[in-house]
Structure 1
């Protein structure tokens, strides 16, 4: 390939890592917060799809992208709160409830979103960070979603809060040893419901990013399984909000390889490269979930649930 083609390829992968990685970042941060409390939310796919639809619908009706962002976060929080409340009932399984909520959220989104498949909604403004370059490809790659800096700041705040604040300590205590938290007089159920709800709101920002920035429209296949991939992302990041940034960039870049190769005229294997995020997910789960071996950083209550 020529130098120009290499530049196009690099720009395409960089742009993809930033655009595709933004929803991954929010969803993985939301799941990280939930799992730190000792609960798994496999319904995150439903949360993502529902929040994406609600954000798009609210932006259409309110003619404001930020109205849509707020609505998406609220919708994600409400569905996640339902998951938290149901899982707090006796003899209710987190995984089974998550699958049911995934189907519920997707069904509600598909039903409520039918009138919004064709219309256009106001989009989240972008930061044009590539104006210094004369390359249109690099300018496009550095067209940053305004929510991305918010996600990076949120990851930093989560990492600091979990380590240095009383609330972060209580959250980690509930996730590592529920009996110890109860012995100290804290409500493990309340902590987990709150963490699951907040995690759903964070994931809802990822849903809003899907429909209000990239790809910037609503359709029933908008998430492509990103909510489920987020569970593997959190394992890969070893339950660290800061590592979620790198994991999201990696998965975003993997998803951008196919389009980047197509942009330089290499059409062969386009659909094959599109499967890379799913292949990475499978690889991470195979390497991390070995019998008798706990993934580093795994909350104690989740580890106990495996036995």
Structure 2
């Protein structure tokens, strides 16, 4: 019994880190975007297109890290396009985000068909369990460097929002565009840059999906993680460090099903696999009351108006 419990806990721990990494990058990108006063529902399309781009470039270049960079650049281009369109008169950023989601996924499926079968070089893992003789521990402590990179980005964003002029400008633009204009800052330019950088982070999250876990390119790779990241940001109250904790929580929820199956528990497997979606639904239900659950949201967001 103790052995089975320890196996499940190790599997949930390892799975939480693997599954949370794409959530982390997409949620940090969305957190930055929303802090500037814009919501980007197109991150799902960016995530999928980034996964395809990263896999294709890794296959042709032989370097998965070049694939990650290419995925980030592709994501930033999508983010920049979203930011440019949204600054046009009488354009709704939510509607444009949905259109970009469909455009990104459709474009990824179209250009990604030749890469479904070929095998691209995958990202390596850090062997942090080298000190242990237990195979389960060694396997659980195989952690991809992108997880630590995501943690570093969360810390930097949290610090920058509180302590830098750049962070103050982004927050001011998200809270009061009139104040930002009165201070001489271009609201459109700030939001354009925030959306572009947010797209870059989402693209990197997509590269993790195709180049590490699950580690292949298929059309059903994302499973809605880009959209769930929006709920994650709301749950985290627009705090980058809380986004990290929430991403790990989502990742742990997604790892429960495979962890139980690893010890032979298959009853209710599909229910446990649906845990991240159930958690997302619960968060959105709890977020209906603006006075309670949306406290701390940037005032310029479309969902606050």
Q: TM-score range by the shorter chain?
A: over 0.9
Structure 1 residue 270, shift from structure 2 partner: 0.7
Structure 1 residue 293, shift from structure 2 partner: 4.6
Q: Is the 8 A contact 2:47 2:75 kept in 1?
A: yes
Partner of 1:24: 23
Q: Please list every run of 5 or more consecutive structure 1 residues that lacks an aligned counterpart in the other structure.
A: none
Partner of 1:202: 201
Structure 1 residue 306, shift from structure 2 partner: 3.2
**Partners of 1:100 and 1:296 in 2: CA distance:** 28
SS at match of 2:143: strand
**Partners of 2:206 and 2:115 in 1: CA distance:** 15
Structure 1 residue 133, shift from structure 2 partner: 2.0
Partner of 1:216: 215
Post-superposition Cα deviations, 1:128-153, rounded to whole Å, max 9, x if no partner, equal 11122222122111100111111111
Post-superposition Cα deviations, 1:279-305, rounded to whole Å, max 9, x if no partner, equal 111111111222655612201112x75
Q: Does 1:137 align with 2:136?
A: yes
Task: Report the number of matched residues.
Answer: 305
SS at match of 1:301: coil
SS at match of 1:97: helix
**Partners of 1:157 and 1:222 in 2: CA distance:** 29
Greater Cα offset, 288-297 or 59-68: 288-297
Partner of 1:260: 259
Partner of 2:304: 306
Partner of 2:156: 157
**Partners of 2:28 and 2:263 in 1: CA distance:** 33
Within a 5 Å distance, the mapping from 1:15-54 to structure 2 comes to: 15-54=14-53
Q: Is the 8 A contact 2:286 2:293 kept in 1?
A: no
**Partners of 1:7 and 1:305 in 2: CA distance:** 43
Q: So what's the TM-score if we normalise by structure 2?
A: 0.98
Q: Please list every run of 5 or more consecutive structure 2 residues that lacks an aligned counterpart in the other structure.
A: none
Q: Does 1:126 align with 2:125?
A: yes
Post-superposition Cα deviations, 1:197-249, rounded to whole Å, max 9, x if no partner, equal 00000111111111111111000011110000000000011000011111000
**Partners of 2:245 and 2:58 in 1: CA distance:** 30
Partner of 1:83: 82
SS at match of 2:17: helix
Structure 1 residue 162, shift from structure 2 partner: 1.0
Partner of 2:70: 71
Structure 1 residue 71, shift from structure 2 partner: 0.3
Partner of 2:241: 242
RMSD (Å) for aligned C-alpha atoms = 1.1
Structure 1 residue 3, shift from structure 2 partner: 1.2
